[in-house]
Amino acid sequence: MNLDFSNTNILVIGDIMLDKYFFGQVKRISPEAPVPVVNVTKEESTLGGASNVANNIVSLGGNVCLCGAIGEDLHGRELIKIAEEKNIITNLIKTAHPTITKSRIIGERQQIVRLDFEEKLSISSNTEKEYLKDMIPLIDKADLVVISDYAKGFITPTLCSIIISHCKETNKKVVIDPKGKDWNKYKGAWIITPNVKELSEISEEEVDNSDFDITKSAKTVLHRYELEQLLVTRSEKGMSLCSHKEATHIPTHSEEVFDVSGAGDTVVATLSLAIALGIDVKEAIHIANVASGVVIKKMGTASLTVNELLEALK
């Protein structure tokens, strides 16, 4: 199978985050409060949110441009430095809001607590208009566009609908990783990748993780938001690709789950690269499913290489 992604160009637009990890040993309980004391022995910083999608794309050998917002702060500078080291091209707005950062304290391979640094992003309509002017040429250069929405405020209804409309006019496919209950902004998208919980929320009914319930709910959502396809990620039950005509259910590829954080980003990245390479959507989803099975065996918001993917595909 040819999975040479070196000539693919993906544009990722979304909520950018920095993930920090503090690893250490736990040998005693604090005298100040009944909590473990973690003696930190190692610290790591990785790209999170939409920037983790970009990280997965370059890790697999593709080319990516990342659009989003960061703060004028230390975490923002750290994020840009990591992106540059990974050859991720960035086109970022700098705001007065802090760079969204999630710090995880890990003691003896067990997450003890997570510290979140974030404020809901608010971008003025003038800034949004100016940024869209910069973004349109980037869309035109890309083979495919990813909208990675974490409901942190960057993916506004205006921004989203203009991107989708322009992509339709220029015959570009849009892959959307959704969040929240306002899917009107995603109307007309090529494919959206909710998990079962997100599908339940947008359906406004409890959706059981069964083939029948997923298919039934997906058809309602497809019609309501004029979508071409839904790819529902179903945890230990794999994935379901639902269109107006049919539903295809793909079992999970992993026998062992260590950490699911970031697995959805890997699915979106791998799917986007495979589609940009001209691979049929069902085969592309099979490849993305296998990629997800590799990263959930790793710690944290991990990525994988194309060699790891090819080995797993065997």
Is-contact 94 72, C-beta < 8 A?
yes
* Assigned domain for 27 exists: no
* Assigned domain for 34 exists: no
User: Which of 23-27, 76-80, 170-174, 235-239 has the weakest average pLDDT?
Assistant: 235-239
Per-residue model confidence as pLDDT tens digits over 16-54: 999 999 999 999 999 999 999 999 999 999 999 999 999
- Judged against a pLDDT cut of 80, whether residue 113 lies above it is answered with yes
Active site annotation includes 265: yes
Q: How many structural domains is the chain composed of?
A: 1
* Assigned domain for 245 exists: yes
The predicted pLDDT at position 261 comes to: 53
Cβ neighbourhood burial of 141 (10 Å; 0-12, 13-18, 19+): exposed
Phi, psi (rounded to 5 degrees) for 96: -80, -10
Quote the CA–CA distance of 270 and 106 in Å, as a whole number. Answer: 28
Mean pLDDT of the chain: 91
* Assigned domain for 55 exists: yes
Tokens of 312: 């797993």
CA Rg value for the chain: 19
* Assigned domain for 175 exists: yes
The enclosing domain of 160 has a CATH number of 3.40.1190.20
306: domain range? Answer: 9-17+47-98+121-313
Q: pTM of this prediction?
A: 0.92
Q: Which of 15, 19, 177, 265 is catalytic?
A: 265
* Assigned domain for 75 exists: yes
